[in-house]
Amino acid sequence: MKGTRNTADDTGAGPSTSTTQDRRPRRGRAVVRALEGWAAAFRLKLNAGELGSLPVVLVLVAVWVVFQILNENFLSPRNLSNLSVDIVGTGLIAVGVVFVLLIGQIDLSVGSISGLAAALFAVLNVNNGVPEWLALIIAVVSGTAVGTIQGFSFARTRVPAFVVTLAGLLTWNGLMLYILGTSGTINLDENGLVAKLTSYYFTNDAAAYGLAAVGAGLVFIASYQDRRRRKAVGMPHRSLREIGVRTGGLAVVAFVAAFVLNRFQGLPLAFLIFLVAVAGLDVVLRRTRYGRQVYALGGGVEAARRASLRVVRVQTAVLAVSGTMAAIGGLFLASRITSVSQASGGGVLLLNAIAAAVIGGTSLFGGRGTTWSAVLGILVIESVASGMAITDTPVAVQFMITGGVLFAAVVIDSLSRRTQEAHGRA
Amino acid sequence: MPAPPLLALRGVSKRFGVVHVLEDIELEIRAGQVVALMGDNGAGKSTLVKVISGVSPADKGVIEWEGRTVHIRRPHDARDLGIATVYQDLALCGNLDVVGNLFLGREIRRYGFLDEVEMERRTRDLLEHLATGVPDLRAPVVSLSSGQRQTVAIARSLLGNPRVLLLDEPTAALGLQQTTEVLDLVDRLRDRGLGVLLISHNMGDVKALADRAAVLRLGRNNGFFDVNTASQEQIISSITGATQNVPRRTAFREEW
């Protein structure tokens, strides 16, 4: 995001001034500004000079407008609420992929790991009567373990993660089929814990509004504290007005979302978990030593090594995170259809997860991106899928459109990277 | 008997496969002294820096720190001793900002989370001492000019109050003005009692700044000089190997 801290008073147009009819450019700018502020509140200064999440937000708006024109039910509370649950499974996997992309690697095994975890849960719980909570923990830990194994092999042997996880893709898929054996499809308990993950809604209106208020409040307090400490030691800081505009923008988006969700069945549990996971991992990435090391590895492994980082440990941990998130995502996907079959974790899942991270603005070259990019990316992908379904468009077209969006995202990533480098040389 | 040197290498050897990159290297760095490490391309200068900084440890030989033997197996060890390194390629993470690079590997934390405010404040204070043009602290390093990056790299090396500073070609990528700034800085660091190992191709820099010059040739010591008394020709002929029957270890060595 540009000029976030030093340019305290460059905001001519806040959202409140955007009502004047005769000043369209100004009004457009105010909207863009609000969106920018919303995204920027979550982004690190690392992104200075970047386009940020603006392109993907525009794509998302365009997708929504087009489908709303094609079918007036697209933006209905029911469809948007379903969308908010549909994105969770793949979205969680994509968040794990963001970690791997940040260190400049790629994890091709997340689809297989998600299927493996789901199969493990189903076989343990349904076929062998293991209590749900225990089976759930075992499934998630198995994802962590598998990720750790892959990460350690990749970090130690220095074989690119691409190859290690390609082997993993086959291995874990094979293991899943082995575990499922001849049982084919296993149906989960419709009222069980895992099924509830995606079927439970907080029907009380207060839940969604409360979440919106807490979210906006936390962001405001964090920015305000930051400003106070900076001011105390005489450092450049954001103006109160800028903080207000940012948190205000965020609050507007959050409350509109809450309003829409409450018009259907309330706040979905799955969506809540998704947001908490994304926000939590965002804090890990941007505000902890471990996160800083992840970014550093994306900026240059050798530089990181010379700065006395324990490269093997960080790389292993990154793939462990992606394995864990894949397992959790796999459970949500299984929960959505309350069954696990030999097709679980297959198909376009892997590609969608990687595409979501990249479309959202995480760089394939490593070192740039946040967990929120996975949210934006998966929203685009699932919106296209949902819009296609609602307008009875064949899947073939859906693939082509998603492919086009992904291609555009990669080109934008590459161009912005080149611009930055050219800028650096000048 | 004077105080032992801050850092001394005794018979340090390093090989990559069958190639002996460094053989029986002797070197001493004393506090308040700038030692120039000179040599032609492939003489092993950069390898020697990596040995001392723990990036690629020595196979054989002894490293002494203030007279006692130490083991430097990884960058962490060197840093804990008080050895800081500015690499030729600077070894910065282009995607991290100035503050992030400076504190990489030794982040300041507050309640377990990164304390960006404190880190930024210290960065600002440090850079104000070092450079005239303080770059935007929150710009990714990739967007800085080469001179600014050099400043960042040097600032990072000074952050932990090191006692020995290794500078690998610190002025190679710089213009005249910036070169002068860096050399002035090295001068000030010497006055503060740091030992500096300066790798340079530039005889002018060495003459202006260094107290001693150690010459490497094909991975071996090829002479030690007092920069103030030795002639430029002597040093250059030692670098190029123009002297006949190169005395490998002792003959050309003057009293330190």
Residue A22's alpha-carbon distances to A26, A32, A35, in angstroms, are: 9, 18, 22
Rounded Cα gap, residues B253 and A272, in angstroms:
73
B188 falls within a domain:
yes
pLDDT tens string B83-130: 999 988 888 998 899 999 999 988 999 888 999 999 999 998 888 877
- CA–CA min distance A311, chain B (Å): 11
- Residue B37 lies in domain: 7-91+162-240
Copy the structure tokens of residue B47: 């390898």
Angle at CA of residue A328, ends A272 and A175, nearest 5° = 165
What sign does the CA torsion over B64, B65, B71, B74 have? negative
B197 falls within a domain:
yes
- CA–CA min distance B86, chain A (Å): 10
Q: Are A198 and A270 in contact (CB under 8 A)?
A: yes
Phi-psi bin for B216: left (phi > 0), alpha (psi -120 to 50), beta? beta
Contact pairs from chain A to chain B, CB under 8 Å: 105
B215 falls within a domain:
yes
Which residue among A292, A366, A424 sits closest to B100, beta carbon to beta carbon?
Answer: A292
Rounded Cα gap, residues A287 and A101, in angstroms:
18
Q: What is the ipTM of this complex?
A: 0.83
**Are A308 and B79 an interchain contact pair (Cβ–Cβ within 8 Å)?**
yes
Which residue among A5, A46, A302 sits closest to B91, beta carbon to beta carbon?
Answer: A302
Angle at CA of residue A243, ends A241 and A249, nearest 5° = 100
pLDDT band at B46 (very low <50, low <70, confident <90, very high): confident
B92 contact residues in A (CB cutoff 8 A): 299-300, 303
Backbone angles phi, psi at A134, to 5 degrees: -70, -45
E-state strands within chain B: 7-16, 19-29, 34-39, 60-65, 68-70, 83-86, 109-110, 113-114, 164-168, 195-199, 212-217, 220-226
Q: What is the mean pLDDT of each run of 10 residues along chain A (426 residues)?
A: 37 37 51 57 43 80 93 93 95 97 96 96 94 96 97 94 95 94 88 92 93 94 92 86 91 95 94 96 95 94 89 96 97 94 90 91 89 94 91 85 82 74 50
- Taking CA atoms, what residue in A is nearest to B143? A424
Element (H, E) at B164: strand B164-168
- Taking CA atoms, what residue in A is nearest to B73? A308
B76 falls within a domain:
yes
Q: What is the CATH number of the domain that holds B209?
A: 3.40.50.300
A307 contact residues in B (CB cutoff 8 A): 75, 91, 93, 104-105
User: When comparing pLDDT for B179 and A370, which is higher?
Assistant: A370
Backbone angles phi, psi at A200, to 5 degrees: -90, 135
B143 contact residues in A (CB cutoff 8 A): 48-49, 420, 423-424
Over chain B, what is the mean pLDDT?
A: 85
Q: What is the pLDDT of residue B251?
A: 47
B120 falls within a domain:
no
How many C-beta atoms lie closer than 10 Å to residue B242's C-beta? Answer: 10
- Quick one: which of B53, B136, B50 has its CA closest to B100? B136
DSSP secondary structure letter of residue B4: P
B134 falls within a domain:
no
Which residue among A300, A421, A423 sits closest to B93, beta carbon to beta carbon?
Answer: A300
Q: How many domains does chain B have?
A: 1
Q: What is the pLDDT of residue A4?
A: 39
Which residue of B93, B107, B123 is the best one to mutate when testing the A interface, meaning the one whose CB has the most A CBs within 10 A? B93
A306 contact residues in B (CB cutoff 8 A): 53, 55, 75, 85, 87, 91
User: When comparing pLDDT for B15 and B252, which is higher?
Assistant: B15
Rounded Cα gap, residues B200 and B172, in angstroms:
8
Q: What is the pLDDT of residue A8?
A: 35
Three-state SS for B108? Answer: coil
Which residue of B53, B87, B96 is the best one to mutate when testing the A interface, meaning the one whose CB has the most A CBs within 10 A? B96
How deeply is B31 buried, as exposed, middle or buried, from its count of CB atoms within 10 A (0-12, 13-18, 19+)? middle
**Are B114 and A306 an interchain contact pair (Cβ–Cβ within 8 Å)?**
no
- Residue type for position B185: L
Q: Are A44 and A286 in contact (CB under 8 A)?
A: yes
